[in-house]
Each structure stands twice: as structure tokens, then as C-alpha cells.
Structure 1
Amino acid sequence: MNRWSRVYASSLPLFIPLLILVMWQLTTSTGMISDRTLPTLVDVFQAGVRLTLDGTLLEAITVSTMRAGTGLLIGGGIGFVFGLLNGVLGIADKLTDSTLQMLRNIPHLAMIPLVIVWFGIGETAKIFLVALGVMFPIYLNTLHGIRSVDPGLIEMGRVYGLSRWQLYRKVILPGAMPSILVGLRFALGIMWLTLIVSETIAADQGIGYMAMNAREFFQLDVVVFAIIIYALLGKLSDTMAKWLERRWLRWHPHFAKTAPPPKA
């Protein structure tokens, strides 16, 4: 691949976002869309600069990211453990899978009033909701990934004398990893969605609180800027998940094709 081909491939994903930004600025600056409906892109940018300079943005991002990350670690860890146990132990699957499936079908955002009663509007409530939201995608994809491992590979590992631990580490987990990482990417989207809702309903810090506080004073530029920040954080999370895919799935045919050739 030559230089211009690489530039074209790397810039192509930016085409639609840039087109949206241009159309946004044109329609708002010319009055086609009222500034009481949507502020101009320049106004939103100026609001972002103002919030950055006074430290409000950094504080809000730090608080929201800590909430999201903590909930992901707790809920994702629980989902992964249950998926692993239910994938390899029949007794664990019979004991817990039906219960987990019933819980999965309860909309976790509908539990917000109950969670506020339990935990108030502090950090625990938001972390609990995020953990509950991300647990099930990781659980289901871990369970599916383990059950989808080729039995022939497992038998081959036994023939080569691998212990049970080595079999899990070298055969079962690598075979399930593509599905687990798909679950992670799905969970990351739910993580930010849950955090947005929880922060806009009951919070005194974070990006959602910043947006709702701005709404009270009809500062639409700040509200839109907060939405953009959520979108950028979601994109950053997905990019990190893709990086993990490329790093951990180098053996996979799809990622082997897209990986750069080794240097001589």
C-alpha cells in the first residue's frame, strides 16, 4: 500500500462526520435552523473552550470516566466469571443461567427509582447501574465463545498432555476471545448509555450533571457540547476495544490479514 492509499484509507472514516459538521454550521449560521433549536458549531466550540479553561470539563470527564470504568470492571468481571463457569461446568449452568436470563430481561434503567431509594444519588447508585448494564453482554458472549470452541482443538490439547489449566489458558480462552471482545464492545456502548441517563436524572457531578445544569439556564451550546463529549468518549472506548482485538487476536485469520507485514 503506497502513501496516498494509506492517507485515503485513514481519512475515509472522517468524511461523514466532517460533512455533518459543515452542514450543521451552514444550516445554523444561515438561520435555516433557529439558534433556539440548535446552536452553531462555533458557539459550541467556544463553550467547550470556556469549560476547558475554567476546569469544569476536566473535572466532569474525570468523574464520569471513573464511574464508567469502575462499573465496567465490576459488572464485566462478574459477567466474565459467570460466563466462564457456566461454559465449562454443567452444574453451574443449571444453577445460575435461568436466574441470570430472567434478570437480563429486566430493563436496568427502569430500576433507577428503586436504585435511588437503595443508594441515594451518590456514586454507588451510578456504578451499580453501569455494572448491571454491562454484565449481561459480557456474560452472554463469554458463554457463547466458550461453547463455540472447536471440540477437536480441546481433544488435541488433551492428546498433547496439556493440564486442565493449560487447556483453558492456551485453547479455550483464546478460542472464546473473539466473542468475548465483541461482548466488550457491546458493553462499552451500554456503559455510556447507562451513565448518560443516570447522570442526567440524579447527579451532582459529571458530564450529565453539567448538561442538565446548563439546560436550567437554557445554555444549549453547553448541552450540545456535553453530548459531543459523550460521543467522543464512546468512540475512544470503541477504538481501545479494537486495539485489544488487533493485539490479542493476531492469530485470527481476519486480523492476520490486516496486520502490517513484519519488518525485515
Structure 2
Amino acid sequence: MSTPIASRRIWRGSVAPAESRMAAPKSAVRSGGDLWGRVLPWAVPLVILAVWQWLAQRGTIAPQVLPSPVGVVKAGVVLAHTELAADIAISAKRAFTGFAIGGSLGFLFGMINGLVRRSEQTLDSTIQMARTIPHLALIPLLILWFGIGEETKIVLVALGVFFPIYLNTFHGMRAVDPSLVEAGRVYGIKGFRLFRQVILPAALPSILIGLRFALGAMWLTLIVAETVAADSGIGYMTTNAREYMQTDVVVFGILLYALLGKGADLAARLLERVFLPWHTGYGGAAK
């Protein structure tokens, strides 16, 4: 009977067991792996940029077809001294206004239909039929209704983000383990507390996946909307540059959309790490 007590005393003292002493090399390996995990995602883009610049300098790629990365950066510097900041602000406002509207409605309907059987029977079939309609096909109709004003872009973005968030929220609510809900009720958790402390945390992985899909749909929809029906914003800037054969400005606008989309995705991943620190693959304790 003395062995477990002795081992506990040793653990509390200055001598750690063998498992603890072996932890340091593993930590070092994990740190090295984390470093490579931060570097590797940028390796392929940097290689592409280097090859692109080399081919442009050799004259293999004509500047009228695809300007060099240096030329694109120079075009961005020129734009930065003119209307670039205003165009980015306008595009970001459209994107996040539409996201707030469509995302909120998608989360609300997904939550209600996922929790209330009668609501699902009443609304889900209609929403699924609407989902099969490409929202970008509505551009001519929305232009007839709203013109090329802000309403058209915001409605399109809202439609683009509604369905990914709705589907994943609905799936997340339905996939909650009933034993978790029953355990919460056994401990006296009921009503909104049961939703906040048990159901919502269990559904969060699926909801956050929907958030990432919605952010991608947000920028994709905005690109098309600003190219077709806009008189300001990044899409309008690139369309106007196309009319004057300014290929460097067009490529800069495309890369700017890519950077904004990457920033939104990084923000979504940060939310995953904040709200799901225990979940494997989200950078938390499970790693």
C-alpha cells in the first residue's frame, strides 16, 4: 500500500517520473513541427511568385499578358496614393454588411429548424428548394429591382452566405448527442442554459465550418457583384482598368481579393481556436 503514496510524494517533490522526463524531447519536436506548420503554407505561394518574376524578367511572359510581381506591386503603390483605400473600405463594408444579414438569418433558421421538428417540416423544404437556385443568377432581377446601388450587392452577399451557415448550423444542432442533453437535464440544466452550455458548444464545430465556407462565398459573390453592377469598390477598379488595358491593376485587384479572403479565413481559424480549444485540428490542447 505504500508504493502509490510514495510515488505521489515523488511526483510532488523534485523528482519527476520517467514519463515526465520524456516530455521535453516531445515538446521540442512539437515546437519544431509548429514552426514548419507556420512556414509551409507560404512556401508554395513564394515559389510561384519567384518563378513568375523570373519568367517575366526573361521575357517569356509578355507584360501585356501578365505583368511581373514587381510591376503589380508598383501599380499597387500608385493606387495607394489615389483611390485604393476608399475602394477597399467600400468593398469591405458591402461584404460584412451582407455577411451580417445573411449569416444572422442563416444561423437563426438553422438553429430553429434544427431544434424544433415542426419548424423543420414547415420551412426546411422551401429553403432547400431556394438553395438550388444559383444566387448569382438573380443579378439581372436584382438590378431591375434595386438598380446598381448598394442594395443589390448587399442582397447578393447575404444570399451567398445564408445557405452555408444555415446548412451547417442545422446539421450541428441535429448532430448533438442526445445523451449529452439528457446528462445536462439530470444535472438540472434546463431552458436557455441547456442550449447555451450543452447544445451550442456541441454544435459549434459544424457551425464554424459553415462560417469558413460562408466567408469564401462572401468574397466570391462580391467579386461578381462589383464587376457586373457597381460604380465603386475593388471590382469596379479592376473592371475600369480592363477598359484601359491596365493589366497590372487588374492582377493587383485579383491578388487583393485573394489577400482579403485569406485574412477572413485566418480570422475564422482564430475563432475556432478560441471557441474550440479542446477540438482536434483546431490548434488547442488536443494537439
Q: TM-score, normalised by structure 2?
A: 0.87
Deviation (angstroms), 1:9: 3.1
Deviation (angstroms), 1:91: 1.0
Deviation (angstroms), 1:10: 1.9
Could you tell me which runs of 5 or more consecutive residues in structure 2 were left unpaired when the two chains were aligned. 1-26
Deviation (angstroms), 1:122: 0.6
Greater CA deviation, 19-28 or 232-241? Answer: 19-28
Q: How does 1:32-51 map to 2 (within 5 A)?
A: 32-51=60-79
Q: Which amino acid aligns with 1:84?
A: M
- State the alpha-carbon separation in 2 of the partners of residues 202 and 254 from structure 1: 40
Q: 1:251 aligns with which of 278, 284, 287?
A: 278
Greater CA deviation, 244-253 or 145-154? Answer: 244-253
Corresponding position of 2:124: 97
Corresponding position of 1:26: 54
Q: 1:148 aligns with which of 157, 175, 189?
A: 175
Corresponding position of 1:172: 199
1:86–1:4 CA distance, 2 compared to 1 (3 A): closer
Corresponding position of 1:11: 39
Deviation (angstroms), 1:26: 1.1
- Extract structure 1 runs of 4+ deviating beyond 4 A: 1-6
Q: Which amino acid aligns with 1:215?
A: R
Corresponding position of 1:53: 81
Q: Which amino acid aligns with 2:198?
A: V
RMSD of aligned C-alpha atoms? 1.3
Deviation (angstroms), 1:252: 2.5
- State the alpha-carbon separation in 2 of the partners of residues 183 and 120 from structure 1: 30
Q: Which amino acid aligns with 2:224?
A: V
- Are 2:153 and 1:123 aligned? no
Deviation (angstroms), 1:5: 5.2
1:105–1:6 CA distance, 2 compared to 1 (3 A): closer
Contact 2:277 2:285 in 1 (8 A): no
Q: Which amino acid aligns with 1:14?
A: W
Greater CA deviation, 21-30 or 219-228? Answer: 21-30
Corresponding position of 1:199: 226
Q: TM-score, normalised by structure 1?
A: 0.94
Task: Report the count of equivalent residues.
Answer: 258
1:191–1:45 CA distance, 2 compared to 1 (3 A): same
Q: 2:114 aligns with which of 77, 87, 92?
A: 87
Corresponding position of 1:262: none
Contact 2:278 2:285 in 1 (8 A): no
- State the alpha-carbon separation in 1 of the partners of residues 117 and 47 from structure 2: 52
Q: 1:212 aligns with which of 205, 220, 239?
A: 239
Contact 2:156 2:221 in 1 (8 A): yes
- Are 2:259 and 1:241 aligned? no
- State the alpha-carbon separation in 1 of the partners of residues 108 and 154 from structure 2: 19
Corresponding position of 2:161: 134
Q: Which amino acid aligns with 2:50?
A: V
Task: Report Cα offsets for 1:195-244 as digits up to 9, x if no partner.
Answer: 00000011011000000011110000000000000000000000000000
Could you tell me which runs of 5 or more consecutive residues in structure 1 were left unpaired when the two chains were aligned. 260-264
What SS does the aligned partner of 1:121 have? coil
Q: 2:215 aligns with which of 188, 192, 195?
A: 188
What SS does the aligned partner of 2:61 have? coil
Identity %, equivalent residues: 55
Corresponding position of 2:255: 228
What SS does the aligned partner of 1:35 have? coil
